[in-house]
Amino acid sequence: MRSDSVKKGIERAPHRSLFKAMGYTDQEIAAPLIGVVSAKSEIVPGHIHLDTIVEAVKTGIRIKGGTPIEIPAIGVCDGIAMGHVGMNYSLPTRELIADSIESMTMAHGFDALVLVPNCDKIVPGMLMAAARLNIPTVMVSGGAMLAGKVGDKRASLSDVFEAVGSVGAGKMTEEELLEYENNACASCGSCSGMFTANSMNCMCEVLGIALEGNGAMPAVYAERIRLAKEAGMTVMDTLEKDIRPRDILTLKAFENALTMDMALGCSTNTMLHLPAIAHEAGIKIDLEMANEISNRTPNLCKLAPAGPTFMEDLHAAGGIYAVMNEVNKKNLLNTDVVTVTGKTIGQHIENARNLDESVIRPVDNPYSETGGIAVLTGNLAPDSCVVKRSAVAKEMIKFSGPARVFNSEEEVNEAILGNTIEKGQVLVIRYEGPKGGPGMKEMLAPTSALAGMGLDKDVALITDGRFSGATRGASIGHISPEAAEGGPIAFVEDGDIISFDMEKCTITLEVDKEELEARKANWVKPEPKIKTGYLSRYAKLVTSANTGAVFATD
């Protein structure tokens, strides 16, 4: 066992004495040591209850003869960090999480891991660590928040952000806003729509590194406790069988993830995280793969913010396996890939059933014949950009309009709330990429404000930053190369015509090449926004969004 390095032989007597100082018995020390990585904190609604999940995991490990050892992981609440300098830190924590898990695991010789995250960057950060370390690992999340209710309308966090815009437009009173504030987030858990956290928890289930139910099962259900116990027991079986993350996280598994990403209509942030996880597993995902897969994958679900259903509805309709079974009626999945149980994905999904066709459309009656996410390319984004096509109004799928340029999120928020935005404009938000931000902020505030004002069918947003999974509307993010690296978005001027076609996957700045070259020659790279601390170091190491914003290795 790997843990022999910290506990076996007379030379490890000092090490064992330290275990005994914590109350571990000889029997516990002799058993396999299983690291249980908990993101529990009192600042994230998706993590406030993870102590309960972790205790259930520990119970499962003990049932099968292992010794669970809990260690911590950090986590930022993207909702609380939104709209201020805190959001600069969100994506960069992904790398901190992966690095800290690597450090704790290697320093203490754990034999296997159970990873217990729930929210946005925490899930991919933990998956990156699993792929990097390649010791037997099982993921179990904390589960989804229940949908709230305001009057007779079901609601989520994105509705509160949109309500702010409605107040600014005079369409809602502050008293009505308070109703949303008090009732939209109904329980602990990851926010209730197909936002980034739930998207990534679904991806864990699809990839096969988490058990059935991980993606859609609500946080407050007793099933979630049972699932956590099963995860604890499963990791002991995975250890015995020596099934490792890189046996699971194969190219075929990532193809399945991209397929289900399209079918479910997940957050555009999956286009950052899946390549980053694959990178740690030694696999390269070209974002062009996403379009190839999207072209043959029907979009079967429209969960909030794209539609009126929520994660609890998806769970009741049969969950992720039911969607996988439906998708595979077109033979779109690699069913021979192995999972943490030792069984294949095909074996797991063969008996899954679609219990509600209003939540999971049948494969022969999809919302669209192509997937929920599109990767666009063109002279404005030579290395690609990303949009959640399933959450875009039909009239905005093809669009052309004059640019209005902003050099920060703060500038565009001021313009939107100041009611200075005109219908037909393309709002360009630049210098918010991985290096320029730094940290590639999510920008839910401007997109939600526009939606709340009723402008989501009339105004487009384009950025080298990114948009929350709670975003709806023509919001195109991840423009690569970013402005801070001299990408074409840096040379856009007010009034330039920008055109995009989400069906043909093109985006064009209607300015001739010679003019762009002249602008580039006169461009002066701006000073870094943040020059000290972690974000300064992050900006020097991080790569482009189209590569997953991973750290450069040379």
Cα(477)–Cα(384) distance, integer angstroms: 9
Catalytic residue among 192, 294, 468, 480: 468
pTM of the full predicted structure? Answer: 0.96
CA nearest 43: which of 104, 138, 118, 143? 118
Instruction: Provide the pairing of β-strand 137-139 with 148-150.
Output: unpaired
Q: Is 457 exposed, middle or buried (0-12, 13-18, 19+ CB in 10 A)?
A: middle
pLDDT at 168: 85
The contacts of residue 418 (CB under 8 Å, 6+ apart) are: none
| DSSP states of 200-212 | HHHHHHHHTSB-T
Tokens of 336: 């021979």
**Taking the C-alpha atoms of 280, 281, 283 and 287 in order, what is their torsion angle to the nearest 10 degrees?**
-50
pLDDT at 169: 86
Cα(207)–Cα(63) distance, integer angstroms: 26
The angle at the Cα of 412, spanning 407 to 414, to the nearest 5 degrees, equals: 125
Contact by Cβ (8 Å): 227, 264: no
pLDDT tens, position by position, 111-129: 999 999 999 999 999 999 9
pLDDT at 554: 63
pLDDT tens, position by position, 295-317: 999 999 999 999 999 999 999 99
Cα(333)–Cα(488) distance, integer angstroms: 37
468 annotated active-site:
yes
Residue count of the chain: 554
How many Cβ atoms are within 10 Å of 103's Cβ, its own excluded? 12
Contact by Cβ (8 Å): 123, 305: no
Cα(5)–Cα(9) distance, integer angstroms: 9
Residues of the chain with pLDDT under 50: none
Residue 544 amino acid letter: S
Tokens of 366: 């999809």
